[in-house]
Structure 1
Amino acid sequence: MENRRAIEWSEAAWLNPPEGVLADGNDLLVSAREGSDFWRTTSYGFVHDDGHALLTDFPVDTAIEVGFVAAFDELYDQAGVLIRVDEENWIKAGVEFTDGAPQLGAVVTRGVSDWSMAPVPDWAGREVTIRVSRSGDAVTVRARVEDEPWRMVRLAPLDPSAEAAAGPICCAPTRSGLTVRFTSYAVTDADAGLH
C-alpha cells in the first residue's frame, strides 16, 4: 500500500495502562488486567471503560492496521483495534473467545453498545490483522488471518468532524493471566472503496 508506515509502540499513548508491557523484538507483549473491558449498558446493564488501548491520532482518510496472535482460550479474551472519540462513542473490532471458539466481531457504541460476531475457529493461534479505514462519515472494518484475503467485518458511522484515536486493544473480562502478542501497528491511506 502507498504511504504505509509502521507506528512505533512508543509513539502511542495508553488509555488504561495494562498490568504489564514487554518488548520482544519487534513485538509487544501486553498483559491485561482481570476484569478489563469496554462495554456500555446494552443487555448486561453495566458500563466498562477500562480495557487497555494503545492509541494514536486517527484522522479522516487514514487507515490503522494492528496485528496480533489470536491465542485465546478463556471466555471473552479479546484483542484487536479500538477507535475512540470519547467514553460514549467508540468502536472495537477484533477476535474474542466466546461460545467455545474465536469469534471475529465488532462492537459499535453510540451511547449504548451493540455487538456482532462470526466464528473463525481456524484462526485460533494464528496471526490476525485488523484494519480500520476512515473515510467521509464512515469506518470500514476489515480483517484477515496471515496472508489470506481481507474479509469485510463492519461498516459503521463516524462523524467526519470527530477527533478520534485508534490502536491496539486487549481485554480480559473474566480472568487474570491473559498476555497478547501484538506483531504490528501501522498507518496507511484509507481504502479507496467499500468493495
Structure 2
Amino acid sequence: MTRIDWSDGHWTNEPENVESDGDALLVTARESSDAWRTTAYGFVHDTEHALLAPLPAGTAMEVTFTGAFTGEFDQAGIFVRVDDETWTKAGVEYADGALQLGAVVTDRMSDWSVAPVAEWAGHRITVRASRAGDAVTIRARVDDEPFRLVRLAPLDPHVEVEAGPLICGPTRPGLTVRFESWTTGPSDAALH
C-alpha cells in the first residue's frame, strides 16, 4: 500500500478543526455533521466531513484511525462517493449505547446495517474499500487482526469515484478522531 498525503485530498465539508500530529491528522467534527438520505427519517444530511481523493477501478483504499466514540451516532471510517445521491460510508458508529461496525449504502436513498463491536473501543481500526468489477467491497479490522467482510455493494465500473477518511458528529460537538494513515493499492484479488 502507498501512503496518500493528507494535502492530496479535498473536504466535502470543512471540519471544525484539523491539525497535524506527526504523520497523523487530528480531525474534530462539527456538531450535526452527518451523511444520510431520506429512508425512515425523512431528511437529507450532506454535512459529513470526508477527505477525498480518486479511487479508480481496480484499486483499494484504507483508512486507519482511533477515537473516543461516546455520543449517539459518533462515527468515523471511509467515504466512497460518486455524487450527492450515490455514496457509501463504512466504519464504526456509536449507536444504541455500543460501538457498532457497519455501512450505509446510498443510491438516492440510504440503507443502514450494523453489528456490535464493543471490544473494538479504544483500539486502532482500519477500514478498507476495494473497487473491482461492478462492486465495492468493504472490509474492516481492529489492530492487526484479519479483515472482516462488512459489505459488498454495487458500484458502476465506469463512473469516477472518490474516497477517503470520514468523520461525523451528528448529536454533539467535540468528536475528535486521530487518522493515522490513508493508503491506496491494488484491489483485492478475491471476495473471500
Q: Give the TM-score of the pair, scaled to structure 1.
A: 0.97
Q: Is the 8 A contact 1:70 1:128 kept in 2?
A: no
Aligned-pair distance for 1:70?
Answer: 3.9
Q: Is the 8 A contact 2:14 2:49 kept in 1?
A: yes
* 1:27 alignment partner, one of 4, 24, 30: 24
Counterpart residue number, 1:78: 75
The separation in 2 between residues aligned to 1:55 and 1:29, in whole angstroms, is 16
Is 1:159 matched up with 2:165?
Answer: no
Counterpart residue number, 1:69: 66
The separation in 2 between residues aligned to 1:16 and 1:115, in whole angstroms, is 22
Is 1:17 matched up with 2:14?
Answer: yes
Q: Which structure 1 segments of 5+ residues have no match?
A: none
Q: Which structure 2 segments of 5+ residues have no match?
A: none
Q: Identity of paired residues, percent?
A: 61
The amino acid that maps onto 1:115 is W
Encode CA deviations 1:103-130: one digit per residue, 9 max, x unaligned.
Answer: 0000000000000000000000110000
The separation in 1 between residues aligned to 2:25 and 2:163, in whole angstroms, is 17
Q: Is the 8 A contact 1:37 1:51 kept in 2?
A: yes
The separation in 2 between residues aligned to 1:122 and 1:175, in whole angstroms, is 23
Q: Is the 8 A contact 1:29 1:179 kept in 2?
A: yes
Q: Is the 8 A contact 2:67 2:176 kept in 1?
A: no
Encode CA deviations 1:30-68: one digit per residue, 9 max, x unaligned.
Answer: 010000000000000000001000000011000000001
The amino acid that maps onto 2:90 is A
Aligned-pair distance for 1:71?
Answer: 1.9
Q: Superposition RMSD on alpha carbons, in Å? A: 0.6
Encode CA deviations 1:82-120: one digit per residue, 9 max, x unaligned.
Answer: 000001000000000011111000000000000000000
Stretches of 4+ aligned residues off by more than 4 angstroms: none
Aligned length: 192
Q: How do 1:91-110 residues align onto structure 2 when only pairs under 5 Å count? A: 91-110=88-107
* 1:119 alignment partner, one of 112, 116, 119: 116
The amino acid that maps onto 1:91 is T
Aligned-pair distance for 1:185?
Answer: 0.2
Q: Is the 8 A contact 1:78 1:172 kept in 2?
A: yes
The amino acid that maps onto 1:158 is L
The separation in 2 between residues aligned to 1:122 and 1:160, in whole angstroms, is 36
* 1:139 alignment partner, one of 136, 139, 158: 136
The amino acid that maps onto 2:83 is D
SS at match of 1:10: helix
